[in-house]
Amino acid sequence: MFYEVHVKGFTMAHPDVPEALRGTYAGLAHEAALAHLVDLGVTTVELLPVHQHVPEAFLGGRGLTNYWGYNTIGYFAPHDEYSAEVRAGRPGGQVAEFRAMVDALHDAGLEVVLDVVFNHTAEGDQDGPTLCFRGLYNDAYYRLYPEDPSRYEDSTGCGNTVNVSHPVSLQLVMDSLRYWLTEMGVDGFRFDLAPSLARDDRGFDRAAAFLDTVGQDPVVARAKLVAEPWDVGQTDSYELGRFPPLWREWNGRYRDTVRDFWRSHDGLLGDFAQRLTGSADLFGGDGRRPTASVNLVTVHDGFTLADLVSYDHKHNEANGEDNRDGTDDNRSWNCGAEGPTDDPVVLALRRRQQRAMLATLLLSQGVPLLLGGDELGRTQRGNNNAYCQDDDLTWFDWSAVDADLLAFTRRLIALRRGHPALRRHRFLDGSAAGALRWSTPAGDEMSAADWADPEARAVTLYLDGHAAPDRDDEGRAMVDDDFALLVNGWWEPLTCTVPPARPGRRWVGEVDTFDPTTPPAVDPTAGSAGTVVVGPRSLVLLRSAPAEG
Amino acid sequence: MFYEVHVKGFTMAHPDVPEALRGTYAGLAHEAALAHLVDLGVTTVELLPVHQHVPEAFLGGRGLTNYWGYNTIGYFAPHDEYSAEVRAGRPGGQVAEFRAMVDALHDAGLEVVLDVVFNHTAEGDQDGPTLCFRGLYNDAYYRLYPEDPSRYEDSTGCGNTVNVSHPVSLQLVMDSLRYWLTEMGVDGFRFDLAPSLARDDRGFDRAAAFLDTVGQDPVVARAKLVAEPWDVGQTDSYELGRFPPLWREWNGRYRDTVRDFWRSHDGLLGDFAQRLTGSADLFGGDGRRPTASVNLVTVHDGFTLADLVSYDHKHNEANGEDNRDGTDDNRSWNCGAEGPTDDPVVLALRRRQQRAMLATLLLSQGVPLLLGGDELGRTQRGNNNAYCQDDDLTWFDWSAVDADLLAFTRRLIALRRGHPALRRHRFLDGSAAGALRWSTPAGDEMSAADWADPEARAVTLYLDGHAAPDRDDEGRAMVDDDFALLVNGWWEPLTCTVPPARPGRRWVGEVDTFDPTTPPAVDPTAGSAGTVVVGPRSLVLLRSAPAEG
């Protein structure tokens, strides 16, 4: 699973990282920082852009900078500002320091994936500065309007678009990917606004030169490849599910559905069920697998999880654009008060909402992406576009950790890692029939009418740990316990009938997002497997354990 | 320069190659075979297909086989029939034997380029056998008609077309290229019917996935890449001059023009001049160089040079198709008698025609391709489509060598290798103005009217060896002697005025295709550099030597 994090923000305020290393590659590689990742249990660290970048000029005028770094000028250089070596007066030292960081992460059992921004550069549009490619071979590196080649096409919202259809740009991108894999040792990439790399003059094309070239490359095709499957400024730029089999995709539909479901919107139960089981509707063709779906509820761009349950509206005044920047499509719910509050009812609801969404994320088929800090209850005080905030708004505040939430998240991740039934390699249909069964809270099989009911908000998912198991690397069947996931999207508690346990097994409560401190108890009644009360807007996970012992 | 040759045919009848090695990779690597190539002075051996191939079934019924081998079934295997190891009962030995052959050629100072056939396979059309890819992933490996996917598109004349637009086929082709370069050590490829690899649903596209992928590949882009820039069966399949800068192309226009010019067709002088100086009209854009033009007069497909001057018509009866197969567009001239003759006038004319075309080929800017055996006077008895003839029709007959022609060819090649002015890296225009001057036989500058005159058949080309010289690997200017090339396409001798020699220099005769035994003498007359009599359908090359000594 992915843990999305900013190199600088992760340790800039970390008390156990030596001050000279805070906010640097060496800081991220420090044992105090690594310990958090290892204890949490994530497997892949996805770093916000580390290619050399520069801030936009207008930010300087506001006393701001570009913190996120989606503004590249050098595709072969680790950003120097994140280097303790450079800071200590050893320019060029960032290369070895970055490499050492990758080694340290590998030694800790973690993969490293880079967020790479090949769709545009910091040179921006026709009014931007000449920093790199513009002065070398403008019409090879950038898409220009055919009817007016003095102007730049913009499918990135940043003023220009790199023309990866051109052989020169294509080679630049491919050489960069090969460099970071072979020389710097990273394990893969998340491609920012990936359709901008896969568009020819007829629009998005899954046989575009870039995708074909990646697919046949002996080095790059073996890396982890994740698309952000949309871009901006052109029509038809939402390409979720359309990338080739090799690729994984950020599942934006997952985010929208999970957010809306847990604020009890109507008519989402079927959609939610698809998201929970790997989004076969999006990725079920071409031999793709559930692992093509990178499930996410929050990412760097938008609200943090804590803010998602604390704000109805963005609060971006600090960005200097009178709160006009940032999306208004947040699908957030402040749970009864906007922002900080002392109201214990609101605060309790917010905690339950965070747990419900974290549990959904970590119990869904597919690959979860956790926004770094969400496990700590990190807030950005309602700023949903903190790209220009390089301060305590964005830096991890290790003195304000929500210890209960962190413990809850760790438990969920450990559960996921321990149980192959929760992270299947194949979609549970066809030959795997029976591995997955849906029922109503009353215990009946879900009918078409049940799925179509816009008022339906609760469902039980039975995962058979024995049916059609995946194989491990040695070819052994990964038979697992069975699970029952009881989902209640209502605002009232719901008594749910539990599916019958396999003979010789009994259900034990593993997760209850309503009250994580008290394991959910199954109430057996005659002639039935029993019932469980699932709290409002909550889910319960049961695991089949041996009946005796 | 390229020497196109068939592994088997080159040594199958070579008396100095041990019998067990004749016709094999080891035979080609034998010192007796290598000596011919080294003495001749060629730099690159281009092998007809060596990927594992099978004959078409109908050939077996005629007692014939597929000799050329444009009928691949295995893109990762050296053809086993050319292996002395396999012949000796050691199956699999062809791999090491092929590798050793490449090493031997390299040790002899020769590059190895493979003729590769990725456009179709031996499986042929819907009525063909299932031999390799058809049974694995038919619609990924082959182009099918969208309206009737039971039928195969055919842009190759062989029944099917490999679908290199598909990522799976693209990877197959790229993996094969990388394999032969990195594991087998070859230096490059000649791509049979290359537009079939570079066509998408809009037709030929120089930004097709295959061309883009090759262009960015760290291994393949560094190899020598030669396109046969046409294919068959579809419209617009003559793409000469349209490949990307990285590529060289077989210059079919060169062949047509040179053949027609020397049989004294009208209106070709300007065209001939373009061919002689690197075909800037075809390759002058996109930063391409004259070396993009692979000049050729004859290749395996069509008449040999000896047959080109001995036959007006093809004589393909032995192929079993009543002489219907093979092209009728031969642009050949039998010089007065069809086929073998004792007429000394005809024979002398044939020898002169061979020399005129060989001299043209080897004195043109660009990269010459010599059909192996043309230097020996090799005949195929009028068969212009000997693909199915695996016998003494196609095997080199080392007992019937035209020693005079061989000596003449060697001299031309040595002259070319010794003089950078004869093989410029850049087109002689623009900044190189003055390096190249055209004049009439009377010594006047060629006017537009002279070029436009359809009766014009003679011209003098002055090559300034001092002007705008190329640089060698150490950056030194490769200043050279000057040359004057006097071309007479008339059927009568012509007295040509020689351009003035540089001060301190005088002209010496280097080549006279009319009579190679007597160096052409420059007849100096007062107030002029002198004149030379150029024989009918002949050319003379003069070189500026120091005036004294």
Q: What would the pLDDT profile of A342-362 be if each residue is shown by its tens digit?
A: 999 999 999 999 999 999 999
Q: What is the pLDDT of residue A524?
A: 66
* Confidence band of A274 (pLDDT split at 50, 70, 90): very high
Q: Which residues of A touch B225 (CB under 8 A)?
A: none
Tokens representing B489 are: 């396409």
Residue B184 is encoded by which pair of tokens? 């087998």
> What percent of chain A clears pLDDT 90, i.e. is strictly above it?
87
> Residue A357 and residue B92: Cα distance in Å, rounded?
59
- pLDDT at residue B526 in the model: 45
Please give the C-alpha separations between residue B335 and each of B65, B311, B379, B421, in angstroms, as whole numbers.
33, 8, 15, 33
Q: What is the pLDDT of residue B236?
A: 57
ipTM over 0.85: no
Q: Which residues of B306-322 are buried (b: 16+ CB within 10 A; e: fewer)?
A: bbbbbbeebbbebbeee
Contact criterion met (CB < 8 Å) for B171 and A216: yes
Distance from C-alpha of A139 to C-alpha of A135, rounded to nearest angstrom: 10
Q: What angle do CA B448, B452, B458 make, to 5 degrees?
A: 95
Residues of A in contact with B170 (CB under 8 A): 212, 215-216
All residues of chain B having their beta carbon less than 8 Å from the beta carbon of residue A178 are 218
Q: Mark whether B342 is an active-site residue.
A: no
DSSP, residue by residue, A11-47 = HTT-TTS-GGGTTSHHHHTSHHHHHHHHHHT--EEEE
Contact A213/B at CB under 8 A: yes
Predicted confidence at residue A163, as pLDDT, reads 93
Task: Identify the pLDDT of residue A235.
Answer: 56
Strands B458-463 and B531-534: unpaired
CB of B182 within 8 Å of a chain A CB? The answer is: no
Q: Which residues of A touch B178 (CB under 8 A)?
A: 218
Which of B166, B209, B221 is nearest residue A209 as measured by Cβ atoms?
B209
End-to-end CA distance of chain A: 33
CA separation for the pair B253, B243 (Å, rounded)? 15
Q: How far is B216 from chain A (nearest CA, A)?
A: 5
| Chain B residues close to A207, C-beta within 8 Å | 165-167, 200, 209
What residues of A act catalytically?
192, 228
What pLDDT score does B127 carry? 92
In tens digits, chain B (549 residues) has pLDDT values of: 999 999 999 999 999 999 999 999 999 999 999 999 999 999 999 999 999 999 998 998 899 999 999 999 999 999 999 999 999 999 999 999 999 999 999 999 999 999 999 999 999 999 999 999 999 999 999 999 989 999 999 888 889 999 998 999 999 999 999 999 999 999 999 999 999 999 877 788 888 899 999 999 999 999 999 999 998 866 557 899 999 999 999 999 999 999 999 999 999 999 999 999 999 999 998 889 999 999 999 999 999 999 999 999 999 999 999 999 999 999 999 999 999 999 999 999 999 999 999 999 999 999 999 999 999 999 999 999 999 999 999 999 999 999 999 999 999 999 999 999 999 999 986 455 678 999 999 999 999 999 999 999 999 999 999 988 899 999 999 999 999 999 999 999 999 999 988 889 999 999 999 999 987 878 765 446 689 999 999 999 999 998 875
Question: Are the C-beta atoms of A173 and A191 separated by less than 8 Å?
Answer: no
Which one of the listed residues B85, B228, B239, B480 is annotated catalytic?
B228
Do B59 and B389 touch, CB atoms closer than 8 A? no
In Å, how far is A123's CA from the nearest CA of chain B?
A: 24
pLDDT given at position B524? 66
Using CA coordinates, name the residue in chain B closest to A215.
B167
What local confidence, expressed as pLDDT, does residue B350 receive?
98
Tell me the C-alpha distance between B423 and B418, whole Å. 10
Q: Which of A163, A106, A173, A122 is nearest to A139 (CA)?
A: A163
Q: Out of A200, A212, A244, whose CB is closest to B213?
A: A212
CB A175 to CB B218 under 8 A? yes
Tokens 């908000």 belong to residue = A457
pLDDT per residue over A86-111, tens digit each? 999 999 999 999 999 999 999 999 99
Answer whether B171 touches A (CB < 8 Å): yes
Provide the 10 A C-beta neighbour count for residue A13: 17
Q: What is the pLDDT of residues A155-170, one digit of tens each?
A: 888 899 999 989 999 9
Length of chain A: 549
Question: For residue B547, what pLDDT is reported?
Answer: 83
Question: Closest by alpha carbon to A415, among A529, A291, A509, A280?
Answer: A509
| Residues A184 and A102 sit within 8 Å (Cβ to Cβ) | yes
Cα distance between residue B241 and residue B247, in whole Å: 10
Residue A525 has pLDDT above 70, yes or no: no
The predicted pLDDT at position A38 comes to 98
Residue B192 appears among annotated catalytic residues? yes
pLDDT of the residue at B432: 57
| A182–chain B nearest CA distance, Å | 13
Residue A407 has pLDDT above 70, yes or no: yes
Q: Is B267 on the interface with A (CB under 8 A)?
A: no
B61 or A334, which is more confident? A334
Residue A166 C-alpha, separation from nearest chain B C-alpha, in angstroms: 7
Position A526 scores a pLDDT of: 46
How confident is the model at residue A432, as a pLDDT? 56
The 10s digit of each residue's pLDDT in A178-220 is: 999 999 999 999 999 999 999 877 788 888 899 999 999 999 9
Q: Is the pLDDT of residue A487 over 60?
A: yes
A·B CB contacts under 8 A:
52
Residues of chain B positioned with their CB less than 8 A from the CB of A211: 167
> How close, in Å, is residue B113 to chain A by CA atoms?
23
Name chain A contacts of B165, Cβ cutoff 8 Å: 207
The pLDDT of residue A521: 78
- A176, A199, A216: best mutation site toward chain B, by most B Cβ within 10 Å? A216
Q: Which of A412-416, A518-522, B521-525 has the highest mean pLDDT?
A: A412-416
- Of B8, B9, B1, which is closest to residue B376 (Cα–Cα)? B9
Min distance A171 CA to chain B CA atoms (Å): 5
Q: Can you tell me whether residue A5 is helix, strand or coil?
A: strand
Minimal-distance CA residue of chain B relative to A170: B216
Kindly state whether A175 is in contact with chain B, defined as any CB-CB distance less than 8 angstroms.
yes
A178 touches chain B (CB under 8 A): yes
> pTM (2 decimals)?
0.90
A172 or A430, higher pLDDT: A172
A244 contact B CB<8A: yes
